[in-house]
Amino acid sequence: MPRPQPLSPALHLSLSTETSPPTDRMTSWKQALSRAFVSLEVLVDDPGAWRASVYADRIGPLQIATEESDPVKFMRTPEEIASDNQAYIFARLQLHGTVALFQDGRSTELRPGLLAFYDAGRPFKLVMSERYRSCVLMMPRQLLRLDDTQVRQLTATPVGDAPGGPAALLLPLLSGLVAEVPATAPPLREKLARTIADLLATLAAGHLTTPGFSPAGAGPTLLDQVKASVERRLGEPELSPRLLADEHNISLRYLHKLFHEQGTTVGRWVRQRRLEACKEELARHDGTDRVIGTVAARWGFSSPAHFSHVFRSAYGMSPGEWRSAAAGAARSRSAH
């Protein structure tokens, strides 16, 4: 069983992969993450061209880090958990780009302005499909003041997506306090860190009691299950709301209600996920010359012309322009 460990009294870490030779970047980054956070498995498509930085300070009961990186995957496996036996809670506040978080049978997409908790004592996965920046707060698990059942209900659920909930008031306050830490005189920093830890505990408790929150334990919600079906069938052109409703034994009206509560529609969400998959594949730098029409068809777009139109509407450039820009950026990074 992981043991709650106090954070070491002082740590200041500043690392950019730009200062390491391309062949050493992944090793130095994994060592930095292990020192700043916990042991993690790190996966990237092109380690030599990949760029990342992390700045972390340990103050009192809290560690505050700013993390910025090209696309990457982090995994906390049972092997990593056994290797360091640490029991920390993470709160990730998304600043730029999107991050997909998976833990306890759930998944959530963090957009800028949202926060989510995850527990280092159990496996989790973070998938960043685009360049991103996050504020990562880490503290001993007991400071969250929740029992194990509550923590399992809390993880991988977005805090801040319920209009009018307590997070709408508290998240801006949290962001402001975190931003103040570097400019605060040393004697007051620990008090400020404890205030931030208390605010995180308040956010967690408030989120569990927010109307509409579904404490689904370790199981996925119905919306999670529908989205998982979409991910599995994203390349099928015939994928439709009716097909999804029938697959999950719900009415078409109720399916639309689930997505309406998230501020979107079924069709818009499916289209966005297809566009993101195409965008990621077209930007992949592995020496493969990807034909745009083939990529579009692979992810469910039956018409290349329609794909080009919706891609330009979403990203302000054609698929070909995006592919060329991504290839140029990759060559530029390799040259440096």
Q: What's the pLDDT tens digit per position in 260-296?
A: 878 889 999 999 999 988 988 888 765 456 789 999 9
- 5 within a domain of the structure (yes/no): no
Is 0.75 topped by the overall pTM?
Answer: no
Asked if pLDDT for residue 5 goes beyond 50, the answer is: no
How high is the pLDDT of residue 6?
41
* 193 and 229 share one domain: no
Q: What is the pLDDT of residues 179-199, one digit of tens each?
A: 887 778 877 888 888 888 888
Structural contact between residues 41 and 100, judged by C-beta atoms closer than 8 angstroms: no
Give the bridge partners for 332, in sequence order.
none
* 134 and 23 share one domain: yes
Maximal C-alpha separation, the chain = 63
CATH of the domain at 242: 1.10.10.60
CATH of the domain at 19: 2.60.120.10
**How many other C-beta atoms lie within 10 A of the C-beta of residue 85?**
14
CA–CA gap between residue 46 and residue 50 (Å, rounded): 6
Q: Which amino acid does the sequence have at 116?
A: A
Q: Identify the band that residue 213 occupies on the pLDDT scale cut at 50, 70 and 90.
A: low
Listed residues 185, 208, 231: the one ending a domain = 208
How high is the pLDDT of residue 9?
42
* 167 and 257 share one domain: no
* 110 and 134 share one domain: yes
Q: Chain-centre distance of CA 151, in angstroms?
A: 18
Sequential DSSP letters for 200-218? HHHHHHHHHTSTT----TT
* 186 and 226 share one domain: no
Domain of 69, in residue numbers? 11-208
How high is the pLDDT of residue 216?
46
Q: CA 288 → CA 129, 136, 283, 300, 319, distances in Å? A: 19, 35, 10, 20, 16
- 1 within a domain of the structure (yes/no): no
* 50 and 99 share one domain: yes
* 186 and 229 share one domain: no
* 107 and 234 share one domain: no
- 213 within a domain of the structure (yes/no): no
- 262 within a domain of the structure (yes/no): yes
CA–CA gap between residue 25 and residue 33 (Å, rounded): 12
* 42 and 98 share one domain: yes
Q: What is the pLDDT of residues 105-123, one digit of tens each?
A: 888 888 898 999 999 988 9
* 200 and 129 share one domain: yes
- 297 within a domain of the structure (yes/no): yes
Structural contact between residues 167 and 100, judged by C-beta atoms closer than 8 angstroms: no
| Comparison of pLDDT for 211 and 37, the residue scoring more | 37
- 237 within a domain of the structure (yes/no): yes
* 172 and 71 share one domain: yes
Listed residues 186, 208, 230: the one ending a domain = 208
Q: CA 84 → CA 76, 77, 81, 87, 117, distances in Å? A: 11, 11, 6, 9, 20
* 18 and 119 share one domain: yes
Q: How many domains does the chain have?
A: 2
- 216 within a domain of the structure (yes/no): no
